[in-house]
Chains A and B, each alone.
Chain A
């Protein structure tokens, strides 16, 4: 069983479109995250949710909206996609107090 799963794995779309990436974890963790990895492999946190509540929003454009329907899911919706949104997006989860993150395998988003 995959611990943190993301779908889709690849996403190619045109500028201006709206798209969603889904993330699910079956580890029973209470905190979930979205990270963006740019073309230079730099990883930057976008959002973190603890028990469905937004904890961190790292000055991400309003076009990005996370949604956490329950502790096991954290989805990322992106409106009006731009070329600069092309990146690999990673979902992760952790259990409070454990200080260990488990990452998904990533979603490679390409905006053309």
Chain B
């Protein structure tokens, strides 16, 4: 079985400051890892994904994540946030094509 733990439920951050959202996973098999963003009252949008290859993955809107197999982590980072980055962020794991399992989400609130 596989599961995803997002270590921070809420992250307040000032505009132009860096942000890191932590995600740990547990799985007995190789997995594929994802970060999704949900803006208020909207659906989920894919930020980035790790399938294989380079452990540093770059996504949209200036986000990047690093896959660390030894620590079973896939933390998301952005060096400088904007007000528009205020949203819910979900880490997800997909061991096969038919089931994407999500973490509980991290609420990011960017303040001026």
Contacts and interface: CB of A to CB of B under 8 A. Distances in A.
Interface residues of B, number: 22
A2 to B, nearest CB: 10
Contacts, number: 55
Contact of B32 (A41, A50, A92, A99): A99
Contacts of B105: 41-43
B99 A45 contact: yes
A105 B98 CA distance: 20
A45 B102 CA distance: 9
Interface string B89-112: 010001001111110110000000
16 contacts: A31-B97, A42-B104, A42-B105, A43-B105, A45-B100, A55-B98, A56-B98, A56-B99, A90-B44, A94-B97, A96-B97, A97-B97, A99-B49, A103-B45, A104-B43, A106-B42
Given A43-B44, A92-B100, A103-B45, 19 more contacts: A31-B98, A40-B104, A42-B102, A44-B102, A45-B99, A45-B100, A45-B101, A55-B98, A90-B43, A90-B44, A94-B97, A99-B34, A99-B49, A99-B51, A100-B49, A101-B46, A103-B44, A104-B43, A106-B42
